[in-house]
């Protein structure tokens, strides 16, 4: 364990708050180079950023309209002449900035920021939303640090320790924030490296389907991602950067799995049972933060005859390194996000691909989804002051658009959708399907889902090269008949059709609703978490704490999918947990947990709000909705609402001993 204090190692590599450094390339750039770069700038970002830096009323007066592409929830600069005006003014600003030496530049008047952020987002934001957006803007890379209310007693600080389970996006953030706060910690990671699910998910075509600009921590906002939607290797590069830049690896125990957590009431500590290369062992700590995520335990189906197959088979999360699929006949079982990413990649190399689809998912074509950023975008990030910050906010938004998109309108009557906006979104996806498969009515019918958009996970794909193109190929067969059994040579459907293959790949997802599985977690009075969650499934108070399980927090725990990007959710829960620990350390407390009353009151609101969301629609069968008639996964709140719920621990809802 490490007892660190002050600035963490690597902190000097992250820009200081509120001031951008000089852009050296700009000093050497001619007008043509600046024009080429600005041609790639996002007009809504220019709208907010230029107004913040210049206060130009012409910039603020540019008109906007709903962007007719994608989900039709975002705003865009409406008129071509307004776009041209913004680009012209951006070029003028950069030329003036260059002429003055392109030195460090402040953000401008703070009282202008609310208007500037509203101009960027295309919607008015209130005071609470502004505070949330200002954090997301990442002007201060350490804005979500723990700020001690007073200097902690050194004896209490020395004796307090934390075990973190998992070294992915969430666990690395917890480790760094504890390190900066000077609180001792140890990270237990079951894999050989950092990265969590991205350390394991290495199948061909694996990449994020949320924008990479939002798939970072605030302190990593300026990490030079190469693509708008990065593949697994680029995601892994980011996690390695975090671990190495801030010197976290020495505090991570790799290749070691936590088997059980047991609360010891007498000492107010957790006993952590681990299993690693040297066998089983035990640790003790005052607190535990689980950062295992919910896409970490592969779900392999139980199909009659699986053990008889003489070829190779594996789950996509266990893709063997160095696998050569050239010339092979490959079956892909499952067509969620993973299957839809994998099938086109295999089709380019394999002799034959047989895809078994139980039900289709809504697809949305994203131009450039598979392409790297043009070099001009990286130039803007390096040389246009605060462009990266405003682009990050523009990408992440407030979550209000997603909330509107997924809310059921009780007065709306349509057999296929749940609201006018949901219908518009469905029509956009149908238009994409029609463009790709209009001349193949058989495939068009097969690929049209029967559930409303976003009642199950929708899938982002490349607009020009995706699974819809792959299933048209001569070497790809799409099978919708249910699998009957697996034979020695392949897969047989219930109707008796046989498909002989060399390899079977299970793209069947994860045990998403089984949080913390297969760990055994035993809290106060010997009660296990499995028993506590037996009725209704996984729940938590304010997304992260459970009554009867003191000093235990979950990052990316129950009901944390949606509303916020993963990085932001991790950061907010981490700060919340550290403020709870701060209270214990400063006030000489030993244990903290939510009251049962507060726990149930919060979860009643979660369930009531989730019942009004599209993922409650019975036509969708996915991990978004459980057998308990509720969602253990989805979050029905907006980003600013989540921020407010997690900004400070509500001491009146917590029991402290």
Q: For residue 358, what is the domain's CATH number? A: 3.50.50.60
pLDDT-based confidence at residue 294 (cuts at 50, 70, 90): confident
Mean pLDDT of the region 572-589 = 98
- Could you give the CA distance from residue 589 to residue 579 in angstroms, rounded to a whole number? 13
Q: In whole angstroms, how far apart are CA 516 and each of 289, 419, 530?
A: 11, 35, 10
Query: Does 185 score more than 60 pLDDT?
Result: yes
- Could you give the CA distance from residue 143 to residue 148 in angstroms, rounded to a whole number? 13
Residue 196, in any domain of the structure: yes
DSSP letters for 215-250: SS-GGGTT---SSSS-BHHHHHHHHHHHHHHTT-GG
| Closest to 73 in 3D by CA, of 463, 420, 567 | 420
Tell me, yes or no, whether 499 and 517 share the same domain. Answer: no
Say how many C-beta atoms besides its own lie within 10 A of residue 528's C-beta.
17
Cis previous bond, 30, omega within 30: no
pLDDT-based confidence at residue 8 (cuts at 50, 70, 90): very low
* H/E run at residue 606: helix 596-610
pLDDT-based confidence at residue 18 (cuts at 50, 70, 90): low
Residue 313, in any domain of the structure: yes
For residue 5, the model assigns a pLDDT of: 43
Query: Does 14 score more than 80 pLDDT?
Result: no
Mean pLDDT of the region 476-502 = 97
Query: Does 348 score more than 80 pLDDT?
Result: yes
Mean pLDDT of the region 29-56 = 98
**pLDDT tens-digit map of 119-151:** 999 999 999 999 999 999 999 999 999 999 999
Which residues span the domain enclosing 359? 306-370+411-506
Mean pLDDT of the region 412-419 = 96
Query: Does 592 score more than 60 pLDDT?
Result: yes
For residue 72, the model assigns a pLDDT of: 65
- Could you give the CA distance from residue 652 to residue 542 in angstroms, rounded to a whole number? 13
Tell me, yes or no, whether 456 and 559 share the same domain. Answer: no
Tell me, yes or no, whether 80 and 177 share the same domain. Answer: no
Q: In the chain, how many domains are there? A: 3
Average pLDDT of the chain to the nearest whole number: 94
DSSP 298: B
For residue 11, the model assigns a pLDDT of: 44
User: Which stretches of 431-489 are assigned E, i.e. beta strand?
Assistant: 459-462, 476-479, 483-486
Query: Does 433 score more than 60 pLDDT?
Result: yes
pTM of the entire predicted model = 0.95
For residue 511, the model assigns a pLDDT of: 78
pLDDT-based confidence at residue 299 (cuts at 50, 70, 90): confident
| Closest to 621 in 3D by CA, of 380, 457, 436 | 457
Q: With the CA atoms of 27, 32, 34 and 36 taken in that order, what torsion angle do they form, in degrees rounded to the nearest 10?
A: -150
Tell me, yes or no, whether 641 and 493 share the same domain. Answer: no
Tell me, yes or no, whether 315 and 260 share the same domain. Answer: no
Residue 4, in any domain of the structure: no
Three-class secondary structure of residue 1 per DSSP: coil
Residue 13, in any domain of the structure: no
For residue 6, the model assigns a pLDDT of: 41
pLDDT-based confidence at residue 162 (cuts at 50, 70, 90): very high
Using the 3D structure, point to which of 506, 529, 562 is the last residue of a domain: 506
Residue 616, in any domain of the structure: no
Tell me, yes or no, whether 293 and 213 share the same domain. Answer: yes
Query: Does 71 score more than 80 pLDDT?
Result: no
CA angle 608, 613, 618 (to 5 degrees): 100
Q: What percent of the chain has pLDDT over 90?
A: 88
Mean pLDDT of the region 520-541 = 95
Residue 333, in any domain of the structure: yes
Query: Does 19 score more than 90 pLDDT?
Result: no
Tell me, yes or no, whether 41 and 118 share the same domain. Answer: yes
Tell me, yes or no, whether 366 and 378 share the same domain. Answer: no
* H/E run at residue 257: strand 257-264
- Could you give the CA distance from residue 179 to residue 173 in angstroms, rounded to a whole number? 10
Question: First and final CA of the chain: distance in angstroms?
Answer: 25
For residue 1, the model assigns a pLDDT of: 42
Query: Does 297 score more than 90 pLDDT?
Result: no
Query: Does 15 score more than 70 pLDDT?
Result: no
Residue 517, in any domain of the structure: yes
Query: Does 73 score more than 80 pLDDT?
Result: no
Tell me, yes or no, whether 475 and 339 share the same domain. Answer: yes
Tell me, yes or no, whether 349 and 392 share the same domain. Answer: no
Mean pLDDT of the region 394-406 = 91
Residue 568, in any domain of the structure: yes
| Closest to 144 in 3D by CA, of 570, 655, 610, 625 | 570
Check: CB of residue 430 under 8 Å from CB of residue 343. Answer: no
Mean pLDDT of the region 507-524 = 87
Mean pLDDT of the region 100-126 = 95
Print the SS3 string covering 45-68.
HHHHHHHHHHCCHHHHCCCEEECC
Rg (Cα) of the chain, in Å, rounded? 25
Mean pLDDT of the region 579-590 = 97
- Could you give the CA distance from residue 454 to residue 614 in angstroms, rounded to a whole number? 7
Using the 3D structure, point to which of 472, 506, 540 is the last residue of a domain: 506
User: Which stretches of 98-203 are assigned E, i.e. beta strand?
Assistant: 105-106, 161-165, 184-188
pLDDT-based confidence at residue 21 (cuts at 50, 70, 90): low
Query: Does 380 score more than 70 pLDDT?
Result: yes
Tell me, yes or no, whether 384 and 423 share the same domain. Answer: no
Query: Does 10 score more than 70 pLDDT?
Result: no
Mean pLDDT of the region 356-381 = 96
* H/E run at residue 329: strand 329-333
Tell me, yes or no, whether 100 and 202 share the same domain. Answer: no
DSSP 388: H
């Amino acid at each position: 364990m490490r007892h660190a204090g002050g600035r963490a190692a690597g902190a000097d590599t992250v820009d200081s708050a509120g001031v951008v450094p000089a852009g050296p390339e700009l000093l050497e750039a001619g007008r043509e180079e600046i024009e080429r770069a600005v041609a790639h700038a996002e007009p809504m970002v220019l709208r907010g950023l230029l107004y913040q830096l210049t206060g130009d009323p012409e910039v603020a007066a540019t008109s906007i309209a709903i962007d007719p592409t994608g989900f039709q929830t975002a705003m865009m600069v409406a008129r071509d002449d307004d776009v041209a005006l913004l680009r012209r003014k951006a070029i003028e600003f950069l030329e003036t900035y260059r002429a003055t030496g392109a030195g460090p530049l402040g953000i401008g008047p703070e009282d202008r920021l609310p208007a500037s952020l509203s101009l960027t987002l295309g919607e008015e934001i209130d005071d609470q939303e502004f505070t949330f957006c200002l954090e997301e803007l990442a002007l201060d890379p350490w804005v979500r640090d723990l700020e001690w209310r007073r200097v902690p007693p050194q004896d209490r600080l020395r004796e307090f320790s934390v075990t973190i389970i998992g070294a992915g996006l969430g666990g690395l953030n917890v480790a760094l924030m504890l390190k900066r706060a000077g609180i001792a910690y140890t990270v237990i990671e079951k894999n050989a490296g950092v990265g969590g699910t991205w350390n394991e998910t290495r199948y061909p075509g694996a990449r994020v389907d949320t924008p990479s600009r939002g798939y970072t921590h605030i302190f990593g906002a300026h990490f030079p991602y190469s693509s708008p939607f990065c593949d697994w290797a680029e995601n892994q590069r980011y996690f390695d950067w975090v671990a190495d830049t801030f010197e976290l690896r020495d505090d991570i125990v790799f290749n070691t799995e936590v088997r059980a957590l047991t609360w010891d009431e007498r000492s107010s500590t957790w006993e952590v049972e681990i299993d690693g290369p040297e066998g089983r062992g035990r640790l003790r700590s005052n607190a535990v933060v689980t950062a295992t995520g919910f896409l970490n335990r592969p779900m392999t189906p139980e199909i009659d005859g699986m053990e008889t197959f003489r070829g190779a088979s594996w789950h996509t999360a266990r893709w063997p390194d160095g696998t050569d699929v050239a010339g092979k006949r490959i079956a892909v079982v499952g067509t969620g996000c993973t299957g839809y990413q994998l099938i086109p990649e295999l089709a380019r190399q394999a002799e034959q691909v047989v895809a078994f689809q139980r039900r289709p998912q809504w697809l949305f074509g994203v131009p450039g989804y598979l392409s790297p950023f043009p070099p001009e975008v990286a130039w803007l990030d390096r040389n246009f002051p605060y462009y990266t910050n405003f682009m990050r906010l523009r990408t992440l938004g407030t979550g209000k658009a997603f909330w509107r998109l997924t809310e059921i309108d009780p007065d709306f009557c349509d057999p296929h959708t749940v609201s006018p906006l949901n219908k518009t979104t469905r029509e956009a996806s149908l238009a994409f399907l029609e463009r790709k498969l209009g001349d193949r009515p058989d495939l068009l019918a097969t690929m049209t889902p029967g559930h409303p958009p976003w009642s199950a996970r929708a899938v982002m794909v490349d607009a020009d090269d995706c699974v819809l193109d792959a299933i048209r190929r001569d070497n790809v067969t799409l099978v919708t008949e249910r699998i009957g059994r697996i034979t020695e040579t392949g897969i047989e459907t219930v109707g008796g059709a046989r498909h002989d293959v060399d390899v079977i790949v299970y793209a069947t997802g994860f045990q998403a609703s089984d949080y913390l599985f297969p760990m055994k977690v035993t809290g106060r009075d010997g009660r296990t978490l499995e028993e506590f969650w037996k009725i209704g499934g996984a729940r938590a108070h304010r997304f992260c704490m459970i009554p009867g399980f003191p000093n235990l927090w979950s990052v990316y725990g129950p009901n944390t999918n949606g509303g916020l990007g993963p990085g932001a959710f991790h950061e907010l829960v981490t700060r919340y947990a550290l403020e709870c620990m701060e209270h214990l350390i400063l006030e000489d407390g030993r244990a903290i947990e939510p009251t049962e009353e507060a726990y149930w009151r919060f979860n009643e609101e979660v369930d009531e709000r989730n019942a009004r969301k599209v993922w409650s629609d019975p036509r969708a069968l996915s991990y978004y909705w459980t057998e308990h008639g509720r969602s253990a996964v989805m979050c029905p709140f907006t980003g600013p609402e989540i921020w407010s719920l997690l900004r400070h621990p509500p001491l009146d809802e917590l029991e402290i001993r």
